[in-house]
Amino acid sequence: MMTVDVVQSLVELVKIPSEVYYEGNRIVRRYYREAAEAVARLAETHGLRVEKVDLEGGEIPTVIASLPGKASGKPSVAFVTHYDVVPAKGPWVVEGRTMDPYSPLVLDGKVYGRGAADDKSGIVATIAGLVDIREAGIEPRYNPVVVVTGDEEVGGTGIRRLLEKGYRWDYVIIVDSGSEYVSVGASGVVHGWIKVKGKSGHAGYPHVARNAVEDLVRVLGELMELKTVRGARLSKYPSPPGSPVPYVWGRLTFNILRLPPTEPEKHNRIPGEAWCGFDMRLLPEEDVEEAVRELYAKLSSIAMKLGVSLEVEIIGKQKGWYSKNEAFVREVLTAAGRSKGREVPVAAELGGNDGTFFDEYGMDVVAFGTIREGTNIHSEGEHVYVEDIEAFRKFMYEFLKP
């Protein structure tokens, strides 16, 4: 049985535009089934045992790959990845070349394409690592499985449903993570809309209307105070290497400005409603409900001060997590250092990940993966270094060997 060609396997996965996004409050999933089937074929072709699980009424097909044969009584460890990606619009210009985000480009030891880093490189690396263990004929210290599901980019529905069905492991390594440090936590997140209502009218007669866009701009100006307050709030956990602040800090960003579907977009019409989509990042140890209450209180105060009509709609919230098992962290750090040939630091993620849900069920969690800083995840020119994929498959061998 041949080992996994990680570059070719990754190219084939990236070609599948397994996007997920919101249309209003509805989740739109594209090519999930095709992505899951490709992952299952990759694992089965290389001699792994595959379990297929349909979640969310079949909307989120999930693949669990493991070593062939009967599992021993040793503790289990899950390497958790996801096949869903944020949408991409092309063309991209990479090193002077024009490319479609779903027609991967292999160049100078890197693979470019949407999902190449986040997180299809993780899928390929974990399956390759498991195959390496099988090919070496060794009896691993743990019962390892690779878990590949969807919806990580929109709140982790796949993992949540899997856990609700009763799936459990003793230890969990989130592979949707940085390659330059071992993550001992991740930020919480709150997504939502600030909706400001006014009175529509003709742009030539602004005195008989109330411009919702202008009111929204005023609200956001006042809300910058909370952005500053959150930015001054620091975690006890270090930030990833290269971060502008040495410890994970609170963040609030305004990422979408739009009119709702009920409002025509015309230059000569004053809109009666305007929306802002926001993203609020919490410290790993911060209480998500308390953060939401703080946001509500600030917006209520702003509405009273400005005399505007507004409402807040929270469309997603997820608390952060942090590692509780120091011995497990040390094991992962040791294996990571051996795979890299150097000491690897610890940090907490600035983003969120599915570690939250395992933590809620009392499982020990750390994160370590294939994503290097500057690889443009969620942006144009997303890429992964092939050496980081190879390092992770070596990490799996170092972690699992007797």
Are 252 and 266 part of one and the same domain?
yes
Helix, coil or strand: residue 299: helix
The whole-angstrom separation of Cα 199 and Cα 34 is: 47
Backbone torsions φ then ψ of 207, nearest 5 degrees: -70, -15
Are 241 and 325 part of one and the same domain?
no
pLDDT at res. 120: 98
Answer whether residue 325 shows pLDDT above 70.
yes
Q: What is the mean predicted confidence (pLDDT) over 284-291?
A: 97
Do strands 234-238 and 201-202 pair parallel, antiparallel, or not at all (unpaired)?
unpaired
Are 172 and 223 part of one and the same domain?
no
Q: What is the mean predicted confidence (pLDDT) over 28-34?
A: 98
Q: In 10 A of CB 137, how many CB atoms?
A: 6
Are 117 and 262 part of one and the same domain?
no
Helix, coil or strand: residue 227: helix
Are 299 and 326 part of one and the same domain?
no
Answer whether residue 332 shows pLDDT above 80.
yes
Can you give the CATH number for the domain in which 213 is found?
3.30.70.360
What's the per-residue H, E or C state across 28-75? EECCHHHHHHHHHHHHHHCCCEEEEEEECCCCEEEEEEECCCCCCCCC
Can you give the CATH number for the domain in which 164 is found?
3.40.630.10
Are 43 and 169 part of one and the same domain?
yes
Alpha helices, DSSP H, located in 244-385: 288-306, 326-340, 355-360
Residue 189 in contact with residue 279, Cβ under 8 Å?
yes
The whole-angstrom separation of Cα 293 and Cα 209 is: 32
Do strands 309-318 and 171-174 pair parallel, antiparallel, or not at all (unpaired)?
unpaired
pLDDT at res. 258: 97
The whole-angstrom separation of Cα 144 and Cα 75 is: 9
Are 16 and 142 part of one and the same domain?
yes
pLDDT at res. 1: 59
Residue 14 in contact with residue 113, Cβ under 8 Å?
yes
Q: What is the pLDDT of residues 187-231, one digit of tens each?
A: 999 999 999 999 999 999 999 999 999 999 999 999 999 999 999
pLDDT at res. 322: 97
Cα separation values, 273 from 286, 295, 310, Å: 33, 20, 9
Q: What is the pLDDT of residues 70-101, one digit of tens each?
A: 777 899 999 999 999 999 999 999 999 999 99
Average pLDDT, the chain: 96
Question: Phi/psi class of residue 164: alpha, beta or left (left: φ > 0; alpha: ψ in -120 to 50)?
Answer: alpha
Binning pLDDT at 50, 70 and 90, where does residue 69 land? confident
Q: Provide the domain limits for residue 205.
A: 188-318
